[in-house]
Amino acid sequence: MSKHKNFETEAIRTQIERSQFLEHSNPLYLTSSFVFEDAEDMRASFAEEKERNIYSRFTNPNTSEFVQKICKMEGAEDGYAFATGMSAIFSTFAALLNAGDHIVSSRSVFGSTNSLFNKFLPKWNITTSFFNVNEVDNIEHLITSNTKILYAESPTNPAVDVLDLELLSTIAKKHNLLLIIDNCFATPYLQNPIAFGADLVIHSATKLIDGQGRVLGGVTIGKSDLIREIYLFSRNTGPALSPFNAWVLSKSLETLSVRVDKHCENALKVAEFLEAHNAVSFVKYPFLPSYPQYKIAKKQMKAGGNIVSFEIKGGVDAGRKFLNTLKMCSLSANLGDTRTIATHPASTTHSKLSAEDRLEAGISDGLVRISVGLENVKDIIEDLDQALKNI
Ligand SMILES: *Cc1c(COP(=O)(O)O)cnc(C)c1O
């Protein structure tokens, strides 16, 4: 599948075939299986001589529509949809790696991805070496003859660092590695890693793709031969996205561009407000001119996204006090919701790491992550301002 119409149009007009009722909005296909005309139809379907739905662990019209839309938005050949972002990440590794293989990853990755690398994949003798986001020169030194995958998020969660996708792709190609990018923070609207040379792209659809904090979902898209391996693994092991969640997510994609435009507009204003505040020692937002990787962000992203991280003067205590003083913003583990959410990684998601390991991953003691929502930005800023005044 390739991009042919404009993004917003693809998001709205990509639809599975209408039923005999000629519905305008797509129905929900809550069915675990599909029927066959006769024994020959059943044989041919299982032999994959025809493309059709058999069982919803394999494919379902709602999940297919969701996958087709994401493929068009990302310029990908094919994809498979998962129950969560983590099942997308795990199944992708499980399908493509063998015991003894090695991964090179950015150190700054989502907490559960980090657990996968350090705790679970080693059970199958799959090991990972990490590079710091500001030391990409180190990547080639970490590559061994067993390395199969180069993995990164951009922007990273929670530190909001950006990695140069073109550079990562050059390194991956030179050493014959698969480049896999977790594109969750950017969404298919702001950044298309495949255009910069990624082989596979993963999304947690739970975040901005749903955008309203309702359902979990995930997807892996990219080269069709790789997706075929991922599909075969998944159809046998069962991490499939539910048709209901696929229906919700496909509807959400219709409004992704307008929602993300507004999220980014609000986030930039929040970032500018925080940067000028004297209780804040630094702000990280990809489209602030002071951002260390500003040029790279401008090269590969359409706008800066909805996540702003900043350092409150006063470390862990100030970070916790700030959260306790917020009146409107939610304290929640999700992000990319219509509601603005604040978290303090050092005392929560990353509290198990040593202070030193946290710093290596870009998480300082007073770092606060704000997922800027769609409320009126004046109200968001007013809440942040009163909390900063009262710490
Ligand atoms: C949330 C998140 C995930 C995991 O997604 P789930 O849908 O919660 O399983 C993976 N990567 C990033 C960057 C995330 O923010």
pLDDT in tens, 140-159: 999 999 999 999 999 999 88
Residue 112: in which H helix or E strand, if any?
helix 111-115
- 296-313: buried (b, 16+ CB within 10 Å) or exposed (e) per residue? bbbebbbbbbbbbbbbbe
Q: Which pLDDT band, with edges at 50, 70 and 90, does 294 fall under?
A: very high
Please indicate whether residue 207, judged by its CB atom, sits closer than 6 Å to ligand 1.
Answer: yes
- What is the amino acid identity at position 42? M
Specify the pLDDT at position 361.
Answer: 80
| Arithmetic mean of pLDDT, 240-257 | 98
Q: Distance between CA 359 and CA 378 in Å, rounded?
A: 32
Of the listed ranges 236-240, 356-360, 377-381, the least confidently predicted one is 356-360
Please indicate whether residue 206, judged by its CB atom, sits closer than 6 Å to ligand 1.
Answer: yes
Q: Rounded to the nearest whole angstrom, what is the distance from the C-alpha of residue 2 to the centroid of ligand 1? A: 26
Specify the pLDDT at position 272.
Answer: 98
Q: Rounded to the nearest whole angstrom, what is the distance from the C-alpha of residue 276 to the centroid of ligand 1? A: 31
User: Which of 207, 198, 205, 234 is CA-nearest to residue 219?
Assistant: 205
Report phi then psi at 238, rounded to 5: 90, 30
Domain with CATH 3.90.1150.10 in the chain: 256-389
Residue for token pair 């500003």: 294
Specify the pLDDT at position 391.
Answer: 84
Specify the pLDDT at position 251.
Answer: 98
Specify the pLDDT at position 302.
Answer: 98
More confidently predicted of 360 and 370: 370
Please indicate whether residue 153, judged by its CB atom, sits closer than 6 Å to ligand 1.
Answer: yes
Which atom of ligand 1 is found nearest the CA of 185? 13
Is a pLDDT exceeding 60 seen at residue 63? yes
Please indicate whether residue 220, judged by its CB atom, sits closer than 6 Å to ligand 1.
Answer: no
Which atom of ligand 1 is found nearest the CA of 218? 7
Please indicate whether residue 183, judged by its CB atom, sits closer than 6 Å to ligand 1.
Answer: no
Q: Rounded to the nearest whole angstrom, what is the distance from the C-alpha of residue 110 to the centroid of ligand 1? A: 7
Q: What is the DSSP string of 234-297?
A: HHHH--BPPHHHHHHHHHHHHTHHHHHHHHHHHHHHHHHHHHT-TTEEEEE-TTSTTSTTHHHH
Task: Give, using CA atoms, the residue closest to atom 2 of ligand 1.
Answer: 204
Other residues' Cβ atoms within 10 Å of the Cβ of residue 182: 26
What's the half-sphere exposure (Cβ side, CA atoms, 13 Å) at 8? 6
User: Which of 85, 12, 37, 26 is CA-nearest to residue 61?
Assistant: 26
CATH architecture of residue range(s) 256-389:
Alpha-Beta Complex (3.90)
Specify the pLDDT at position 4.
Answer: 59
Please indicate whether residue 148, judged by its CB atom, sits closer than 6 Å to ligand 1.
Answer: no
User: Which of 207, 203, 183, 185 is CA-nearest to residue 193?
Assistant: 183
Is a pLDDT exceeding 80 seen at residue 117? yes
Which atom of ligand 1 is found nearest the CA of 205? 7
Specify the pLDDT at position 138.
Answer: 92
Task: Give, using CA atoms, the residue closest to atom 6 of ligand 1.
Answer: 85
Other residues' Cβ atoms within 10 Å of the Cβ of residue 17: 7
Q: Rounded to the nearest whole angstrom, what is the distance from the C-alpha of residue 302 to the centroid of ligand 1? A: 21
Of the options 3.20.20.70, 3.40.640.10, 3.40.50.150, 3.30.1330.10, the CATH number for the domain spanning 7-253: 3.40.640.10
Rounded to the nearest integer, the mean pLDDT of the chain is: 95
| Arithmetic mean of pLDDT, 164-170 | 98
Task: Give, using CA atoms, the residue closest to atom 11 of ligand 1.
Answer: 110
Which atom of ligand 1 is found nearest the CA of 157? 13
- What is the amino acid identity at position 200? L
User: Which of 147, 165, 209 is CA-nearest to residue 184?
Assistant: 209
Specify the pLDDT at position 21.
Answer: 96
| Arithmetic mean of pLDDT, 118-137 | 95
Query: What are the tokens at 293?
Result: 């990787």
Specify the pLDDT at position 1.
Answer: 46
Is a pLDDT exceeding 50 seen at residue 2? no
Specify the pLDDT at position 228.
Answer: 98
| Arithmetic mean of pLDDT, 60-87 | 98
Is a pLDDT exceeding 60 seen at residue 109? yes
Q: Tell me, yes or no, if the pTM score tops 0.85.
A: yes
Domain with CATH 3.40.640.10 in the chain: 7-253
Is a pLDDT exceeding 60 seen at residue 187? yes
Which atom of ligand 1 is found nearest the CA of 216? 7
In this structure, is the dihedral angle defined by the CA atoms of residues 139, 144, 150 and 153, taken in order, positive or negative?
Answer: negative
Task: Give, using CA atoms, the residue closest to atom 8 of ligand 1.
Answer: 85
Task: Give, using CA atoms, the residue closest to atom 1 of ligand 1.
Answer: 204
Specify the pLDDT at position 83.
Answer: 98
Please indicate whether residue 204, judged by its CB atom, sits closer than 6 Å to ligand 1.
Answer: yes
Q: What percent of the chain has pLDDT over 90?
A: 90
What size, in residues, is the chain? 391
Q: Rounded to the nearest whole angstrom, what is the distance from the C-alpha of residue 85 to the centroid of ligand 1? A: 5
| Arithmetic mean of pLDDT, 231-256 | 98
The SS3 call for residue 217 is coil
